[in-house]
Structure 1
Amino acid sequence: MENIALTEAVYYILLSLDQPLHGYGIMQNIERISGGRVRLAAGTLYGALNSLLERQWIRALPEEKGGRRKEYQITESGRAAVRREIERLRELLANGECITVLWN
């Protein structure tokens, strides 16, 4: 299992895909859950989606006949990556509290 820090874009994409969404829906959901702070450009989103597909952290759902929008959903491997990232962020916060005490 990889123990790497996720980019903010990847983290929010994975969080957004608990339910199947198409690209525009992902962008809207990220903006919503980040309180408007994170807005992904289409190129950033689709580059990250391709990378996440290669890592098998997400999967593309079969397109319905006549459907033009591809939908994506997180996989168990993707959920594990999010859990590792949350734990990493918790450690950073805990270390930050220690650093604040030492440096103040």
Structure 2
Amino acid sequence: MKTSSNSPLSAATLHILLALASEDLHGYGIIQEIARQSQGSYRLGPGTLYDNLKKLMDQKLVMDVPRSALPKDEERRFYRMTPSGREVLAAEVERMRDVIATAQSRLKERRPRNA
């Protein structure tokens, strides 16, 4: 998903990439991290999570952690953000900064009413 700087990520994609930004996680760990990062205001169900993970993997933004990198007794599938995923997330953060700056500027402006 090579999105242009003007194409916002879906809420689910944004939250999944944010959850994977600092560590590899299994599916339930991603759900927990999203709830933690959003202070419970955004919840992702398993169906939505795995549908989005498949799309992100198809787009090479997320990958499976190689089994050799996991403890021998770990049977869950872990996910890792790829360098391309990190680039897409960084572009989205920059896009959001621009939106916020514009919104803050507009909120400070006082326009006279047309009578």
The answer to whether the superposition gives a TM-score over 0.5 is: yes
Equivalent position of 1:85 in the other structure: 92
2:42 counterpart of 1:41: no
Q: Which runs of 5+ in 1 are unaligned?
A: none
After superposition, where does 1:53-64 map in structure 2 within 5 Å? 53-63=57-67
The structure with the largest helix share of the pair is: 1
Residues 102 and 40 (structure 1 numbering): CA distance in 2 closer, same or farther, change over 3 Å?
same
Q: Which runs of 5+ in 2 are unaligned?
A: none
2:104 counterpart of 1:97: yes
Q: Return the offset for 1:61.
A: 1.4
Q: Return the offset for 1:34.
A: 0.6
Equivalent position of 1:13 in the other structure: 16
Give SS of 1:89's match. Answer: helix
% of aligned pairs identical?
37
Q: RMSD between aligned alpha carbons? A: 1.8
TM-score by length of 1: 0.89
TM-score by length of 2: 0.81
The 2-side partners of 1:6 and 1:59 are apart by 18
